[in-house]
Amino acid sequence: MWIRWWLWPLVAICSADQFRDEAERIMRGTPVIDGHNDLPWKLLNMFNNQLQDEKANLTSLADTHTNIPKLRAGFVGGQFWSAYTPCDTQNKDAVRRTLEQIDVIHRMCQMYPEAFVCVTDSTGIRQAFWEGRVASLVGVEGGHSIDSSLGVLRTLYHLGMRYLTLTHSCNTPWADNWLVDTGEDKAESQGLSSFGQSVVKEMNRLGVIIDLAHVSVATMKATLRLSKAPVLFSHSSAYSLCHHRRNVPDDVLQLVNQTRSLVMVNFYNDYVSCKKEATLSQVADHLDHIKKVAGAGAVGFGGDFDGVSRRVITHRLLRRSPSQKTSWRLLAGRCTATQRPPASISSQGPCWPPSPPSSLAYVFCDALGSGPLGSYSSREIGHQSRELPAPQAQGLGSSSRQTHSGPLIKAATLLSHEGVCSQHPSPGGGLLDIHGQVL
């Protein structure tokens, strides 16, 4: 009897080590890609975007979820950095401030070339991974950042934007946000206006991924039915498990399945448990549910690190038992990466600017690697004027893959972002009003 009491803890320890070793083996061979990180917003609020401030050094940055050692600790191979500006900048200085946040992302790559490389397609992601650097992509969080201008949309694309969230927590003149579903905002576009449809079509043509986090259910459905390319929810969870309107309901998950789209699960407790606390087990429940309804290829991680307000995940090791009929395990499993053949949305007619058809890079994982999470700190709404220093290169030594504290492995579909030809050329005027008319 006493031998058995001593034996079980030893077996558990050995088993845990085995799972961790297997997870690290998987992550060394498969890029870990996270869909949403608000570190650029933290750099604005903490350091006024002065990256040369000694305290802003990303190798030793404190009081944030994200820094270079943590990214390496989690084998992070790719990160969508959020270029975010608050809703109160809409119809004011949203475009300028979005440009400044994109500038911060580019300067991160310039100042830390051994850690980051800014990329715009799946080829760049794979190259960065083999070089031991974090492939850094730009996601613009909020349609108000384009100021109802297709010209601005195209300009942000040329500056590296590879996804655009159609709304933040406010309506744009052409798309409705999630607060419409709570009754806090009124529907203005009934999903998408005619100009909103033009935005979706132009994003398809350019090869910009459409992000439906933060939008209303009507906007989700209208976009999924209109878009010729898969879309993503960069940081949302399953509504059936947590009735928060930022989450994705099952009928929309069915459309996600039909369109080969992607839901990247958020770790914010309000979206995971709808309570003050949440556990990794509950996160896994969301992953399982989305996998069940939308398919394994529809599941990803969008941690929202440095973007939400509370400690959301307890530190614990989770292993699902076979009786639960799930292939998700936080520290075990298999991942394979495949490249689907290129698939153009339209191959006829002129294309402006000329660009090859997009292709889809798929990463299918039936297990997830994870570690402890830090506490989430609040996203403040304040903004300060600032001057941006010139970039300064700073080497960081070895770029070999090492390890991260966040559960960021991805089972996902990722667009290559290389552009899609439309059968209609872009309007020559560049600037359109909200009705789609050339100004």
> Residue 247: left if φ>0, alpha if ψ -120 to 50, beta else—which one?
beta
CA dihedral for 169, 420, 253, 235, sign (positive or negative)? negative
Contacts of residue 82, defined as CB under 8 A and 6 or more positions apart, other chains included, come to 36, 37, 38, 40, 41, 101, 139, 140, 141, 307
Q: Is 188 a catalytic residue?
A: no
Q: Which of 38, 181, 202, 306 is catalytic?
A: 38
Catalytic residue among 65, 144, 214, 404: 214
In terms of DSSP H, where are the helices of 237-391?
A: 250-258, 269-272, 280-294
CB 399 within 8 A of CB 55: no
Q: Can you tell me the distance from the alpha carbon of 355 to that of 187, in angstroms, rounded to the nearest whole number?
A: 36
Task: Assess whether 417 carries a catalytic annotation.
Answer: no
Residue 265, classed as helix, strand or coil, is strand
d(CA 310, CA 304): 12
Q: Is 214 a catalytic residue?
A: yes
Q: Beta strands 161-165 and 209-211: pairing type?
A: parallel
Among 304, 306, 404, 417, the one annotated catalytic: 304
**Three-state SS at 78:** strand
Residue with tokens 């992607």: 262
Is residue 147 annotated as a catalytic residue, yes or no? no
Instruction: Assign 427 to helix, strand or coil.
Output: coil
CB 206 within 8 A of CB 240: no
Phi and psi of 336, rounded to 5°? Answer: -135, 145
Catalytic annotation, pick one of 144, 168, 286, 417:
168
Catalytic-role residue among 34, 121, 141, 176: 141
User: Tokens representing 411?
Assistant: 């089972």
Three-state DSSP string of 107-139: HHHHHCCCCEEECCCHHHHHHHHHHCCEEEEEE
Our answer to whether residue 38 is catalytic in this structure is: yes
User: Is 383 annotated in the active site?
Assistant: no
- Catalytic residue status for 141: yes
CA distance 416 to 162: 9
Q: Pick the catalytic residue: 235, 244, 404, 417? A: 235
Paired with 412 in beta bridges are 363
Give catalytic residue positions.
Answer: 36, 38, 141, 168, 214, 235, 304
